[in-house]
A and B are shown apart, each in its own frame.
Chain A
Amino acid sequence: MSSKNLKNSPLSPSLENLYKAYESMYLIRRFEEKAGQLYGMGFIAGFCHLYIGQEAVVIGLQQAVTTNDSIITSYRDHGHMLACDMSPGGVMAELTGRSGGYSKGKGGSMHMFSREKKFYGGHGIVGAQVPIGTGLALAHQYKNDNGICFTYMGDGGSNQGQMFEAFNMAALWKLPVLYIIENNLYAMGTSLDRHAAVTDLSTRGSAQGIPGKSVDGMDYLAMREAALEAASYVRSGKGPFVLEAKTYRYRGHSMSDPAKYRSKEEVEDIKSHHDPLSILEAEILRQGGDKDHLESITKDVKKKIDAAVEFAKESPEPSESELFTDILV
């Protein structure tokens, strides 16, 4: 769907909204760039999966999130947490394994949570978050709190058996869950057409009668409109919905993946013609926005991220007594 069609739609956002979205997307971009640097410097270790390139997906969807909604995703989770308004310092300090991190340093990049922000992780086992998100939706329905659960997964994750099991229950019980498949075309080194028999992932729920839609995940406006529609469908009690966001990750699967399975040209083409920040910037300017204002936004974000990095470096390691806490309540 093209953003041009949205100009006069009632769903079309204000310039203010676009500025805010740009800020949020740039915050993720900058955060991830810095996380990559800190990894290179040895402050972060293990697995670290960057979200660069996919920013418009989560920020588009965030526009449809209301107070009682819950959110859950995979290990590629930094962007989702920042979108939930979790503090960049708290997230970064978890990446560095420090006590100021969201899990006191005990979780790491893939395992962060915030009950306050209703962010339920951060899951390292591909596909595991899908039934869990479905269970969060069961809780919304049970408590009748008007909340829905935004359950994210990757294209590779959308092959897991437990996803299909969860879809069936969600459809059967009309659970308020919005499934978002972030199709970045690769599951680690395996391209979509080599891992999925049907590559239109919006049809993942068709056997269970779950409606779905594909949307350009590089285009904030398109993402936002699709999110608002899908969330209002789910919120109205009709049951689950599947949104396939077609997107791309710029970096390797994790910091240790040189990504030799795709060509430089492919990556460069996306960066120069489909970059979500550039697309949104062009839209802002087209709507009469101000380049200087965008610059001041990026300046502020950079400061915020610098502070987060500082915090993550300075925060002390967890105390040794933490080793044996939090195992049982």
Chain B
Amino acid sequence: MTVEKMPETITVREALRDAMAEEMRQNPNVFLMGEEVAEYQGAYKVSQGLLEEFGSKRVIDTPITEAGFAGVGVGAAFGGLSPIVEFMTFNFSMQAIDQIINSAAKTLYMSGGQMGCPIVFRGPNGSAARVGAQHSQCFASWYAHCPGLKVVSPYNAIDAKGLLKAAIRDPNPVVFLENELLYGQRFEAPPSGSDFILPIGKAHIERPGKDVTLVGFSIMVGYALEAAEELAKEGIDVEVINLRSLRPLDLETIFESVRKTNHCVTLEEGFPYAGIGSELSAQIMEHMFDFLDAPVLRVTAKDVPLPYAANLERLAIPRSPEIVQAVKNVLYNA
């Protein structure tokens, strides 16, 4: 009798924690700070066990003062450390966005290349469940808009670990956009060994296909895969690209896919206006116009603050049925 060996799985939460722990073991200048990261083990338990292993010098509970501690992080990075700054959620990074953009992102340029800022700003981004307009928003396009930042957004455990390790090692400020609803999800475990990292700026084809390209990031990749399964039943062969990195953007992988499928739908949980999908479709239109059989379509959140009511929330956030519909529309197959 043969026993089939199940692939080992871990949660995104564990992958993120492992990434931080490994980098903290390797580099004594890496430290974590944020609200509830130490004694509470993280508001969403992402920093579980880190205080115990690394002590309170390197795992620091801050007061609720985002502008302050983001700025403290930037200063510490200028001073030669490699801070990981956790925002309890990226909604609260709005308190600190000035330090992220005006201090972290621009200083290398303004100093003629002298003042690099090796810092990671990380935390959950996008909509959570039923927490209303002030606690549910995707900031991908806000940060990706700005030169001087790298912006990364993992989907599964491999992404989470490989990209976070890369972000911590990167000499530049990296905005690392996680997703609360993915924290508890299990995925195939990343390769073992502390040297596994993923390059920032490289997308990943999660599912190859020939009829249409779906380009998304974070939780939308999961919905894209669901939609692809659904569409496969109708004979539509979908390619799913997991962007992983929003700045820099892996245009080569996207273009190559579009060259093959001639149809593209972009996916994000953010608002449609000036979103990541707007940038993707502009790039594809500028460079791949001759390869397109139809205009690029965007699947996004509705252009409204996120409502609390269950029925309205369902309408506001895009999920796989909207993706299925968009694919049919882009193929004129509706």
A residues with a Cβ closer than 8 A to B are: 45-47, 94, 97-98, 103-111, 123-127, 156-157, 159-162, 187-190, 194-196, 261, 317-318, 320, 322-324, 327
Contact = CB atoms under 8 A, between A and B. Distances in A.
14 contacts: A97-B310, A103-B308, A105-B307, A106-B308, A108-B132, A125-B134, A157-B64, A161-B68, A195-B61, A195-B64, A317-B310, A317-B312, A323-B312, A323-B316
Given A105-B308, A188-B40, A320-B311, A160 B131 contact: no
B135 interface: yes
A261 B316 CA distance: 36
A9 to B, nearest CB: 38
B64 A320 contact: no
B186 interface: no
Interface in B3-43: 35-36, 39-40, 43
Nearest to B88: A188
Interface string B110-143: 0000000000000000001111111100000000
Contacts of B329: none
Dominant secondary structure of chain A at its interface with chain B:
loop
A13 B135 CA distance: 42
B312 A318 contact: yes
Contacts of B1: none
A223 B104 CA distance: 46
B63 A189 contact: no
Interface of B: 35-36, 39-40, 43, 61, 63-65, 67-68, 91-92, 94-95, 128-135, 302-305, 307-312, 315-316
B134 A124 contact: yes
A324 B64 contact: no
B129 A323 contact: no
Nearest to B68: A161
A111 B302 CA distance: 20
A46 B65 contact: no
Given A106-B309, A188-B43, A317-B310, A156 B63 contact: yes
Contacts of A194: 39, 61
Contacts of B61: 190, 194-195
Given A127-B64, A161-B65, A317 B39 contact: no
B305 A327 contact: yes
B272 to A, nearest CB: 13
A45 B310 contact: yes
Contacts of A104: 309
Contacts of A111: 132-134, 308
A177 B40 CA distance: 35
Contacts of A324: 302, 304
Given A125-B91, A125-B95, A195-B64, A261 B132 contact: no
A83 to B, nearest CB: 22
B26 to A, nearest CB: 29
B68 A106 contact: no
A160 B68 CA distance: 8
A159 B69 CA distance: 12
A126 B133 CA distance: 14
A106 B312 contact: yes
B308 A320 contact: no
Contacts of B129: 45-46
Given A188-B43, A261-B39, A108 B63 contact: no
A202 B43 CA distance: 28
B39 A327 contact: no
Nearest to A126: B64
Contacts of B64: 126-127, 156-157, 159-160, 187, 195
B56 to A, nearest CB: 10
A236 to B, nearest CB: 33
Given A46-B130, A108-B130, A125-B134, A189 B40 contact: yes
A119 B64 CA distance: 25
